[in-house]
Amino acid sequence: MMKRRLGRDGPEIGAIAFGCMSFGGFYGPTDEATSHRALDAAWDQGITHLDTANIYGMGVSEEFIGTYLKRHPGRFSIATKAGNTRNAERRFNNSPEHLRESLEASLRRLGVEHVELFYLHRREQALPIEGVMETMVRFQEEGKIGGIGLSEVSPGTLRRAAAVHPVMAVQSEYSLWTRLPELGLLKACEDLGAAFVAFSPLGRGVFTDVMPDPATFPQHEFRRDNPRFSEENWRFNRIYAERFAAHARERGVSAVALALAWLLNRAPHVIPIPGTRTAEHVADWSPAGDMVLTPADIAEIEEILPCGFAHGDRYNEMQNRGPERYC
């Protein structure tokens, strides 16, 4: 797999990384052995970077990665996150005490003394980002983290943060049906030398060869309350997704690989992080790394999936309380 750099001065990693939210049960039940098989498959495909967070399964994702790394030390670089809480009164906590406590707990679960990248998962608006960055810089100076990341922030917040210290990566949702980052955030990352890490690059399972069926989602599955999968909206979104899958088949590639290739062709600092619970799906990702799309190819894809085609917001009201809105 080709390599991309995590930020201007960060480590080189596989151009496609592994998002480990599924290990925490967000898309249905899983277990340690199944997660470990998925990590074996990722390594075999040339994936070298894992992206997790302390709230994925309330530590379960980190624990599964930790037990894997105990058997395979040094195999993957790790990014994790903190700043979200389960406290109804204070959903986001960016205080120095909370971030330090969260980081220390993550390191214990992962079984490491250092992570390559540590994200502020969501910004707490009551605290100036400059002060939060100073907290993160201290973690870096102590050798606990290699670089600082921000998640779901605006270009303005990124620029304020980078004025304090370089930001290694910014993570936001980005895919063929979520293109908000094109309205300033991708450019800000490029200007400041930050990697742009695209989560949900496959539209939460939409850009695949097997369409999801919202009627079968388990009761507590993340997508069950997502507006784009509501009965009203999915009947439109499915039509677009099926057209894209048919186009991929005509090209002789999978819808998964084509959707990831589209992202990789957007800019050299974009790093998609698809996720899965099972090893079987990992092999679908790697062909994207060798796929070069011409301007005519891009135009054809965007004729099928024009910018803004998605029916429904990407989050419901509850899910949308943390991301910064800037357009």
For residue 276, the one-letter residue type is T
Give strand ranges (E) for 135-207: 148-151, 169-173, 195-199
Residue written as tokens 């001065």?
A: 9
Residue 245's nearest CA partner among 205, 281, 215, 274 is 205
Cα(219)–Cα(187) distance, rounded to whole angstroms? 39
Exposed e or buried b per residue across 18-32, where buried means at least 16 C-beta atoms within 10 angstroms of its C-beta: bbbbbbbbbbeebee
Cα(136)–Cα(142) distance, rounded to whole angstroms? 10
Give strand ranges (E) for 6-115: 12-14, 18-19, 49-51, 77-82
Please, what is the end-to-end C-alpha distance for the chain in angstroms? 35
Cα(180)–Cα(213) distance, rounded to whole angstroms? 26
Cα(310)–Cα(198) distance, rounded to whole angstroms? 18
Residues sharing a CB contact under 8 Å with residue 9, sequence separation 6 or more, in sequence order: 166, 193
272, 16 Cβ separation under 8 angstroms: yes
Phi and psi of 170, rounded to 5°? -120, 135
Phi and psi of 175, rounded to 5°? -165, -175
**56: annotated active-site residue:** yes
For residue 303, the one-letter residue type is E
Question: Among residues 27, 56, 68, 174, which one is catalytic?
Answer: 56
Both tokens assigned to 169:
């990566």
Cα(267)–Cα(170) distance, rounded to whole angstroms? 14
Active site residues: 56
